[in-house]
Structure 1
Amino acid sequence: MDATEIFDLPYIDTHTSLVAASPDAVWRALGETFDHPGFHVVTSVPGRELALAGSHRFSTYVLVFRLEEAGADRTRVEAESRAAFPGATGRLYRLLVIGTRGHAWAVRRMVRKAGEDALEGRGAVSESGSATGRDKPPPASG
């Protein structure tokens, strides 16, 4: 999936949160949060936007995180979800994940975790302005 295909997927929902950390720290923490769970980076604009996609036999999905400065060391995080659920098993999967509000809970938890990680310095930047240790931003892709 590339950046032009994101909006081809049906819209699911948007969740907005206020995080007590800078947009750059939140962006790096989001990259760390999603480094392992089966997503790949579709778009990456440091400190502003991170779009991640994934798929399995029941769905193809994308999460788009948009970050906006909301005061000193505060970031408004908007998490938009889009997904397709093909076939009868996909419809059942959608009912189980979206219909039970499990998806909404999971997205809010991911944003909260990224905020906590940013506050704990896992999204920290060294004095030289580069990401520290394992806190490197996700790789940019097409």
Structure 2
Amino acid sequence: MSPSDPADDLPFVDEHRTLVAAPSAAVWRSLGAQFTHHRATGADLLAHLLGTVPRSAGGPPLTESAAVPGFAVAESAPGRRLRLAGRHRFSRYVLQFDLADRADGTLVSARTYAEFPGPHGGLYRLLVIGSGGHRLAVRRMLRDIRDRAERGTG
């Protein structure tokens, strides 16, 4: 995948944004906490069922050697960008977080790029994207990142 633009390789799916009333350093720490939280959710069973790559967690959060089930850090530019990439039986995907300083805080955007090859991939896309489940999951993730950064508990 191209480090500059994942859209070169995968189709754009969606983008969600939130304004965080905190500096980008606090938001970055909150992203790290989100990554660590993801490790603790017991995603191992789902990773096994889907056949995710990577399948298990490892490495320090927010570094290019880090992984959680289903996601590996493909790019890490502290305070600016975190790009997670992965694949499984039905999809290949990138979830990219971009942070931009604003006068009233930090604008965080989460962009998803993915392909869903074959008939099983199409069905999986319908179940995950078409149902609105992906949208809800990303919005919740952004809300958790925002709340943690604004509380200063990132």
TM-score normalised to structure 1 length: 0.78
The count of aligned residue pairs is: 122
In 2: Cα distance, 1:109 partner to 1:10 partner: 23
Per-residue deviation, residues 72-116 of structure 1 (Å, max 9, x unmatched): 5x1111111001111111100000111111111111111111111
Give the conservation status (yes or no) of the 8 Å contact 1:18–1:76. Answer: yes
* Structure 2 residue 42 is matched with structure 1 residue 41: no
Higher relative contact order (Cα pairs below 8 Å, separated by 6+ residues)? 1
Partner of 1:34: helix, strand, or coil?
helix
Q: Is the Cα contact below 8 Å between 1:2 and 1:42 reproduced in 2?
A: no
Question: Within the alignment, does 1:122 sit opposite 2:137 as a pair?
Answer: no
- Other-structure match for 1:84: 115
C-alpha offsets along residues 15-63 of structure 1, whole Å, 9 cap, x if unaligned? 1111121111111211221232521111111111111112211111111
Checking the alignment, whether the CA contact within 8 Å between 2:128 and 2:134 is kept in structure 1 is yes
Residue 70 to residue 5, structure 1, CA distance change in 2 (3 Å): closer
The answer to whether the aligner puts 1:60 opposite 2:92 as a matched pair is yes
**Shift in Å, 1:4:** 5.7
* Unmatched runs of 5 consecutive residues or more in structure 2: 40-67
TM-score (norm 2): 0.72
Q: Which residue of 1 aligns with 2:63?
A: none
Shift of 1:5: 7.4
Q: Residue 30 of structure 1 contacts residue 111 of structure 1 at CA under 8 Å; is this kept in 2?
A: no
Match of 2:3 in 1: 3
Q: 1: CA distance between counterparts of 2:20 and 2:100? A: 10
CA RMSD of aligned residues (A): 1.7
Match of 2:127 in 1: 96
Superposition deviation, residue 119 in structure 1: 2.4
Q: Which runs of 4+ in 1 moved over 3 A?
A: none
